[in-house]
């Protein structure tokens, strides 16, 4: 073929009219930016790793060797010498809560810390004392409470705990999972809850053995608080969102799905877009209010109206807003003491003793066995099916919170029925969290095309995964907790979602959890080792789940998620190479540079220290 091509070229030259010379092939326009001397993980179909990459007009021009890419540089080309560092596609977070996360960064924050009752109260009192001008009717919102990490193990805070504080103000303390809130007596009075108030559908007002409200509200019952709590001022929302975007840029997030978007917050995304200040690609899952509205047709119509109002598709390289998902909720959380996730078999309870771990100093072991609570289902299969069927025909994908194995099973049942009824081939439903899945249901994810969106940090031993779940699930179910690796092995396309601010924003610790099912080198001794015997993901699988597979879940795999010619230049540079560092140090990484559409949105000095080339050699 090479000889034939050469002959054809010569023949073409021979028939040129006299005096004419064949024009030399035009040289492609020089790149705006090239990154050289690196390890570029492309996340392409071969998971290629190349030395260098060229970017022009916000898109990838080429990836290849240093020589190939340097040939594309011109006098004005910015050259970034990676000095062996790793670059990769920008992170795609498939499940995050930016407004909550930004607010947490600016609020009275307990920071997920292990706290005794005295420390818990001291931290909150300090926040009260810092606001001496606040009126007695102003609610103090406290975030970052790690309910399962109260010290010593088994400690439970209730309204009487908060009533010890020196204040007349109402206080609301939100647990890290965002599914439980603790109120003091003043707040209970303010929201209108007494010992006779009935729990709403989809939630619970927790009571003690005497029938008195403890101050704990679960899931839909938190709505009592929302009804009396003034919404954040628009300027506060703007600050929260700005803080979230700054944090995401520093962490390397270039695209995300807001997994709990409400109509009142969407205009703020539009503001950033219109002002040119959007620094990541936004997809939103609009929260459908299935508790207030039962008609599937009206719910679907609401989703369509919101999409028409706020969806901003664009072929430009700059970030934009896509309203292409809807959030639905099937259950709550597995962890004790809430236990609002829907299980096939009941949670286990102590058959003797006090019900929480004892020390090893001669105490008899606690015997655990099945109780009666299986956790609530917030939506029956038929209703979910009808809503999802309408969404599928409207071209909107559902993003369904289902944590317990019964909730997952019912969700798969509904998706199976929607598929059988003729859902479009483009339909890509997601099941978020799926912390417990019956073995028989693992292959059903692939068969119905359901995308599991998983939070790998939950497979790291800790208060939520061990203290609040191990005994309460029993050994067989605990062994299949956090089945992302088994789902991948069954053919599902697994996607990562941080669920921030349910946990700290730490993508490298989370990915280490996904690979090793263990924490970093600073893990407390009580939580050392692996969560269970599940195998974990390979490093490449973990990286793909937060890049190209995340793009697939958003119908964006043709534009983002991998570093290939023609795709948008969303990329990050890391201090360490995830593919080669020792396993023990996988969590010890940081982002040095974040680019979105070829523009720098975060630089830890790498960009500022580099300049223009002196030559093209």
Which tens digits make up the pLDDT trace of 65-75? 999 999 999 99
Q: Are residues 172 and 209 in the same domain?
A: yes
Taking only the tens place, the pLDDT of each residue in 581-595 is: 999 999 999 999 999
- Assess if residue 45 is contained within a domain: yes
Q: Are residues 41 and 109 in the same domain?
A: no
pLDDT at 352: 67
Which among 179, 208, 228 is the end of a domain?
228
Alpha helices in 314-448 (DSSP H): 381-394, 405-420, 444-448
Angle of CA points 457, 541, 488, to nearest 5°: 80
SS3 category, 475: helix
Q: Are residues 75 and 158 in the same domain?
A: no
Q: Are residues 120 and 61 in the same domain?
A: no
Q: Are residues 112 and 80 in the same domain?
A: no
| pLDDT over 80 at 369, yes or no | yes
pLDDT at 40: 98
Q: Give residue for tokens 């020196």.
A: 166
Mean of the pLDDT values across residues 118-142?
96
- Assess if residue 233 is contained within a domain: no
Taking only the tens place, the pLDDT of each residue in 9-67 is: 333 343 444 444 445 556 779 999 999 999 999 999 999 999 999 999 999 999 999 99
- Assess if residue 57 is contained within a domain: yes
pLDDT band at 391 (very low <50, low <70, confident <90, very high): very high
Task: For residue 180, count other CB atoms closer than 10 A to its CB.
Answer: 25
Ranges 23-27, 85-89, 158-162, 558-562: which has the least confidence: 23-27
Which among 195, 228, 261 is the end of a domain?
228
- Assess if residue 237 is contained within a domain: no
Q: Are residues 186 and 215 in the same domain?
A: yes
- Assess if residue 589 is contained within a domain: yes
Q: Are residues 83 and 144 in the same domain?
A: no
Q: Are residues 185 and 219 in the same domain?
A: yes
Q: Which two tokens stand for residue 246?
A: 């700054």
Q: Are residues 213 and 105 in the same domain?
A: yes
Average pLDDT taken over every residue of the chain: 92
pLDDT at 354: 46
Distance (Å, rounded) from C-alpha 59 to C-alpha 599? 10
Distance (Å, rounded) from C-alpha 232 to C-alpha 240? 10
pLDDT band at 572 (very low <50, low <70, confident <90, very high): very high
Mean of the pLDDT values across residues 89-101?
97
pLDDT band at 142 (very low <50, low <70, confident <90, very high): very high
pTM: 0.90
pLDDT at 237: 95
- Assess if residue 610 is contained within a domain: no
**What does DSSP say about strands 571-574 and 86-89: parallel, antiparallel, or unpaired?**
antiparallel
pLDDT at 7: 32
- Assess if residue 287 is contained within a domain: no
Distance (Å, rounded) from C-alpha 228 to C-alpha 190? 8
The CATH number of whichever domain residue 212 belongs to comes to: 3.10.310.70
The CATH number of whichever domain residue 590 belongs to comes to: 2.30.40.10
Q: What is the DSSP-derived secondary structure letter of residue 258? A: E
Q: Are residues 218 and 108 in the same domain?
A: yes
| pLDDT over 90 at 135, yes or no | yes
Mean of the pLDDT values across residues 501-529?
95
Q: Are 214 and 193 in contact (CB under 8 A)?
A: no
SS3 category, 103: helix
DSSP string, 489-551: HTT---EE---TTSS-S-HHHHHHHHHHSS--TT--GGG-S-SSS-----HHHHHHHTTHHHH
Instruction: Establish how many alpha carbons lie within 13 A of residue 199's alpha carbon, considering only the half-sphere containing its beta carbon.
Output: 18
Q: Are 435 and 405 in contact (CB under 8 A)?
A: no
pLDDT at 612: 55
pLDDT at 27: 72
Angle of CA points 58, 51, 59, to nearest 5°: 10
Taking only the tens place, the pLDDT of each residue in 164-211 is: 999 999 999 999 999 999 999 999 999 999 999 999 988 999 999 999
| pLDDT over 70 at 124, yes or no | yes
Alpha helices in 311-449 (DSSP H): 381-394, 405-420, 444-448
pLDDT band at 366 (very low <50, low <70, confident <90, very high): confident
Which residue, 122, 118, 110, 95, is CA-closest to 147?
Answer: 110
| pLDDT over 80 at 144, yes or no | yes
Q: Are residues 114 and 180 in the same domain?
A: yes
- Assess if residue 251 is contained within a domain: no
Q: Which two tokens stand for residue 99?
A: 């407004």
Q: Are residues 224 and 144 in the same domain?
A: yes
pLDDT at 611: 59
pLDDT band at 231 (very low <50, low <70, confident <90, very high): confident
For the chain, the domain total comes to 2
Mean of the pLDDT values across residues 99-120?
94
pLDDT at 436: 98
Mean of the pLDDT values across residues 554-568?
98
SS (H, E, C) 35-94: EECCEEECCCCCCCEECEEEEECCEEEEEECHHHHHCCCCCCCEEEECCCCEEEECEEEE
Q: Give residue for tokens 């936004």.
A: 282
| pLDDT over 50 at 481, yes or no | yes
Which among 210, 228, 246 is the end of a domain?
228
Q: Whole domain around residue 156: which residue ranges?
A: 98-228
Mean of the pLDDT values across residues 329-339?
95
């Amino acid at each position: 073929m090479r000889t034939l091509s050469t002959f054809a070229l010569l023949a073409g030259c021979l028939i040129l009219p006299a005096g004419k010379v064949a024009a030399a092939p035009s040289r492609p326009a020089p790149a705006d930016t090239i990154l050289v001397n690196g390890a570029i993980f492309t996340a392409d179909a071969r998971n290629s790793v190349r030395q260098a990459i060229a970017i022009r007009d916000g898109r990838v021009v080429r990836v290849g060797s240093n020589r190939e890419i340097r040939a594309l540089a011109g006098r004005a080309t910015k050259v970034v010498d990676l000095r062996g560092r790793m670059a990769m596609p920008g992170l795609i977070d498939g499940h995050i809560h930016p407004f909550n996360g930004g607010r947490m960064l600016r609020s009275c924050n307990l920071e997920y810390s292990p706290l005794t009752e005295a420390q818990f109260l001291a931290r909150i009192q300090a926040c009260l004392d810092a606001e001496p001008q606040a009126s007695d009717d102003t609610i103090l919102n406290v975030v970052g409470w790690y309910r399962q990490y109260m010290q010593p193990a088994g400690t439970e805070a209730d309204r009487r705990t908060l009533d010890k504080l020196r204040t007349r103000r109402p206080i609301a303390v939100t647990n890290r999972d965002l599914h439980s809130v603790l109120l003091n007596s003043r707040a209970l009075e303010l929201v209108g809850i007494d010992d006779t108030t009935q729990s709403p559908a989809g939630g619970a007002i927790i009571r003690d053995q005497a029938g008195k409200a403890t101050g704990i509200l679960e899931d839909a019952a938190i709505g009592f608080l929302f009804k009396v709590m003034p919404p954040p001022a628009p300027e506060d929302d703007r600050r929260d969102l700005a803080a979230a975007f700054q944090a995401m840029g520093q962490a390397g997030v270039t695209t995300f799905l807001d997994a709990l978007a409400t109509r009142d917050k969407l205009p703020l995304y539009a503001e950033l877009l219109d002002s040119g200040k959007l620094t990541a690609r936004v997809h939103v899952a609009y929260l459908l209010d299935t508790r207030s509205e039962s008609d599937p047709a009206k719910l679907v119509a609401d989703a369509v109206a919101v999409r028409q109002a706020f969806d901003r598709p664009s072929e430009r390289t700059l970030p934009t807003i896509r309203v292409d998902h809807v959030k639905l909720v099937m259950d709550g959380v597995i962890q004790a003491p809430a236990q609002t996730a829907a299980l096939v078999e009941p949670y286990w309870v102590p058959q003797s003793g006090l019900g929480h771990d004892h020390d090893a100093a001669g105490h008899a072991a606690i015997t655990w066995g099945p109780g009666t609570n299986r956790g609530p289902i917030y939506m029956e299969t038929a209703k979910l099916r009808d809503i999802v069927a309408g969404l599928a025909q409207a071209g909107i994908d559902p993003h369904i919170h289902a944590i317990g194995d019964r909730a997952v099973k019912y969700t798969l049942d509904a998706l199976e029925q929607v598929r059988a009824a003729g859902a479009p081939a483009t339909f890509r439903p997601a099941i978020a969290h799926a912390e417990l899945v019956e073995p028989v249901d693992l292959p059903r994810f692939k068969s119905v095309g359901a995308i599991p969106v998983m939070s790998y940090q939950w497979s790291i031993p800790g208060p939520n995964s061990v203290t609040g779940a191990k005994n309460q699930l029993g050994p067989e179910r605990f062994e299949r907790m956090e089945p992302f690796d088994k789902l991948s092995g069954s053919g599902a396309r697994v996607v990562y979602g941080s669920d921030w601010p349910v946990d700290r924003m730490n993508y490298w610790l989370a990915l280490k959890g996904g690979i090793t099912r263990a924490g970093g080198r600073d893990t407390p001794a009580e939580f050392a080792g692996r969560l269970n015997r599940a195998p974990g993901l390979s490093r490449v699988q973990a990286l793909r789940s937060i890049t190209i597979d995340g793009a697939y879940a958003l119908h964006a795999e043709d534009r983002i998620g991998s570093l290939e010619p023609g795709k948008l230049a969303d990329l990050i540079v890391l201090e360490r190479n995830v593919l080669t560092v020792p396993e023990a140090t996988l969590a010890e990484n940081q982002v040095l540079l974040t680019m979105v559409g070829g523009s720098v949105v975060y630089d830890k000095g790498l960009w500022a220290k580099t300049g223009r080339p002196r030559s093209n050699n």
